[in-house]
Amino acid sequence: MIELKDVYKTFNRHVVLNRISLKIEKGETFVIIGMSGTGKTVTLKHICGLLDPDDGEVLIEGVKMNNSSESIRRGLRRKMGVVFQSGALINWLSVGDNIALPLREHKKYSEKEIGVRVDEKLKLLHLQSARDKMPAEISGGMKKRAGLARVLVRNPEIILYDEPTSGLDPVMSTHISELIVKMKEEFGVTSVVVTHDMNSAYHIADRIAVLYNGDIVQCDVPEKIRNSAIPFVRQFVSGSLTGPIDVE
Amino acid sequence: MSIVLLVYLIGDSIMKILDFSGYCIILFFNTLFYLKNIFSKRKEIVRQMYNAGIRTFIVVSIVAIFSGMILTLQSGIELKAYHLEEKVGNVLIATLTREMGPFTSAIILIASVGSAMAAELGTMKVSEEIDALEIMSISPVKFLVMPRLVALSIMMPVVTVYTNVLGCLGGAIVAKTHLNVSYDTFYIHILESLHFKAVYVGLLKSFVFGLIIATICCAQGLRAENGAMGVGKATRDSVVASFIMMLVVGYFITEIFYRGGL
């Protein structure tokens, strides 16, 4: 469903993605882990077409996303949603209006239907009390959940999550992880998750890719990643201070 | 080596200016394309008109009154030397309608509304809100730029008329208190030099200034990067670029319409 072929990306001559290739199947939950600044979010931005690679291809259901026309990009993006790290809520719209925004803009539903769908997602993410609040009046965790609600309200086939559990309390983290699993089991959603939360990664992932210095050093099922023979992966997943990762 | 560096810096600056100018032109025409959605975006347009008109009401009032007072006092002092102080109304209305009204209004709206537009859109850009719109297949040009451009191009002439009226009021007070010109005389001379062409060219200028300011400030905001520092830079650059373009375009409009006189 999602395929990255030899994707190469640099910023100011600094190589961020060094010819990485990935194939993510329909209905799969694919987790990308790695140290900060290794290109995890850049990979997500390539998948959703916010960034184009210097070389290589990004294919969504066989259709080339990179360097394609705006109408092709829009068509592909209609199938996907992105949960941004900060929530990325529009600051002058209330939480309810933010969630309703994609439905209102595309005019596919009546106001009554929009209201029902928004209420449903607010309830799913325990945000009923925040419906009329402005983004500045709610916590970071609530913003993130509202961002997730705005994605879910469109029923996308692909959801990309950028650190979905960071900044959330443990109970809410588990709730979000369960929700990602539920989206896969009940609706067959394909998910790509960038996270540092290893507990969540082991729980939700079908496969985990470990990114280091722009390369995928290992891509396997959670059990194999947990018991990896590669020193870097072993140190990263255990959070140990001793190993090849230089904390300096 | 230093000459090479100098050539490089000049070339780099020219490339950046051309790149930004091209971006502004494309953004402007993209915005015109989305004018078909003007009705569905009426609430946002009204909100932006409120920001541009009502929220700047006090500052516009103060600047307009004092501009009129200063103009009247300065020209009145000169005219008094020739015993022509009663003609101060003619000078004031000609100056206000042709140049100072649109110019003063544009400066106020660049400083208060244009800079806020650049900062708001810049903050949205660096906090991924613009990316979120793109992912939802919502065009940022339709959602953010078009309402701002329409609102500012409508409000700029309105603010200009208001500036002209208050400028005349301020001028009348100074004419009466400092130059002993009665309100009646001042009013008669205002009407005497209130030419239709001066009014419509002044309002056309304001309208064009509105388009320029909104386009430049939105473009700077949409291109902001590197966090808070980038937003600050975008805001500063938007004010500088709008101000320069306003002066350049203002001159050429004057040149086109007043080449053959009034």
Q: How far A186 CA lies from chain B's nearest CA (Å)?
A: 23
pLDDT digits (tens, 9 = 90+) for B195-216: 999 999 999 999 999 999 999 9
Per-residue tokens: B201: 């060219």
DSSP 3-state of A34:
strand
Query: What is the value of pTM for the model shown?
Result: 0.87
Q: How far apart are alpha carbons A105 and A99 in whole angstroms?
A: 11
Nearest to B131 among A78, A88, A105 (CB): A88
| Inside any domain, residue B2 | no
Start-end of H helices in chain B: 2-33, 42-49, 57-81, 88-95, 101-109, 115-126, 129-135, 140, 146-179, 183-192, 196-222, 227-258
Tally of domains within chain B: 1
In a domain, B36, yes or no: yes
Q: For A81, name the nearest residue in chain B, comparing CA atoms only.
A: B135
Residues in chain A whose Cβ is within 8 Å of chain B: 45, 48, 50, 74, 77-78, 80-82, 84-86, 88-92, 101-102, 105-106, 147, 150, 154
Chain A's closest residue to B133, CA to CA, is A102
**Residue B20, in any domain of the structure:** no
Asked whether residue B121 is assigned to any structural domain, the reply reads: yes
Range of the domain at B121: 25-258
How far the first Cα of chain B sits from its last, in Å, is 54
Is the per-residue pLDDT at B262 higher than 70? no
ipTM topping 0.85:
yes
Instruction: Mark yes or no for CB contact B135/A78 under 8 Å.
Output: no
Report if residue B19 sits inside a domain: no
Q: CB-hemisphere CA count at 13 Å for A223?
A: 0
Q: How far is CA B147 from CA A71, B88, B107, B121, B224, in A?
A: 23, 40, 21, 13, 20
pLDDT tens for residues A90-145?
999 999 999 999 999 887 789 999 999 999 999 988 899 999 999 999 988 889 88
Token readout for B26 is: 């494309």
Between CA B17 and CA B22 the distance in angstroms is 9
Assigned domain for B4 exists: no
Residue for token digits 């008329």? B161
Chain B positions in Cβ-Cβ contact with residue A92 (cut-off 8 Å):
47
pLDDT tens per residue across span A179-211 = 899 888 888 899 999 998 898 999 999 999 999
Q: Please tell me which residue of chain B has the smallest CA distance to A103.
A: B136
Predicted confidence at residue A248, as pLDDT, reads 64
- Tokens found for residue B159: 């603010």
